[in-house]
Chains A and B, each alone.
Chain A
Amino acid sequence: MAPGAQRCGALALLAVVLGMPGTAANAQALDGHGISGFWSPGFGATPPRRAPTPAEAELMASFPEGTVVLADVGATEFPPGDYGGIAIHEALREAAKTYDPESQTTVALTCKPPGLIYTMQGPFPMEIFEGRDLIAVKLEYFDLVRIIFMNETSHPDDWPHSQTGHSIGRWDGDTLVVDTVSLQSGTLFNNGVNHSEDVHLVERFRLADDRTLVVTQQFEDPGSFTGTAARVMSFSRGDDHVYPYDCDPSYGLSMDSREGPAGP
Chain B
Amino acid sequence: MNPGRAGRGHPPLRGGALIVSGRLQNNAAMLRKLIRFCLSASALVFASFAGAHHSAALFYDLQGSVEVSGTVTEFRFANPHAILRFDVVGEDGEVQHWTAETTSPSVLRRRGWSQDSFTAGEKVRLQGLPSIDGSYLIRITRAFREDGTEIGVPRGTDN
Contact = CB atoms under 8 A, between A and B. Distances in A.
Contact of B52 (A109, A248, A250, A257): A109
Interface string B14-32: 0000111000110011011
Contacts, number: 171
A124 B106 contact: yes
A159 interface: no
A101 B58 contact: yes
A103 interface: yes
* Secondary structure of the B contact surface, majority rule: mixed
Contacts of A255: 59, 83, 99, 101, 137
Interface residues of A, number: 52
Contacts of A115: 51
Contacts of A256: 32-33, 36
B84 to A, nearest CB: 10
A260 B136 contact: yes
Name, among B50, B52, B134, the residue most crowded by chain A CB atoms within 10 Å (CB to CB). B52
Given A75-B158, A258-B136, A259-B25, A103 B99 contact: no
B135 A262 contact: yes
Interface in A106-138: 106-115, 118, 122-124
A149 B68 CA distance: 51
A171 interface: no
Nearest to B16: A261
Residue among B58, B59, B134, B137 with the most chain A CB within 10 A?
Answer: B58
Interface in A205-264: 240, 243, 245-248, 250-252, 254-264
A248 B81 CA distance: 9
A180 interface: no
Interface stretch (A27-35, A57-65, A184-192): A184-192
Interface residue range, chain B:
35 or more
B40 interface: yes
B35 A264 contact: yes
A114 B52 contact: yes
B63 to A, nearest CB: 13
Contacts of B50: 103, 109, 112, 187, 194
A105 B28 contact: no
Contacts of B19: 261
Contacts of B149: none
Contact of A100 (B39, B57, B98): B39
B53 A259 contact: no
Given A109-B52, A185-B49, A254-B99, A261 B80 contact: no
A46 to B, nearest CB: 13
A169 interface: no
B136 A103 contact: no
Interface of A: 43, 74-75, 77, 79, 100-115, 118, 122-124, 140, 184-187, 190, 194, 240, 243, 245-248, 250-252, 254-264
Query: What 7 A-B pairs are tightest by C-beta distance, nearest first?
Result: A260-B135, A262-B134, A114-B51, A123-B159, A248-B78, A185-B49, A43-B157
Interface of B: 11, 18-20, 24-25, 28-29, 31-33, 35-36, 39-40, 42-44, 47-55, 57-59, 76, 78-81, 83, 96-99, 101, 104, 106-107, 109-110, 131, 133-137, 156-159
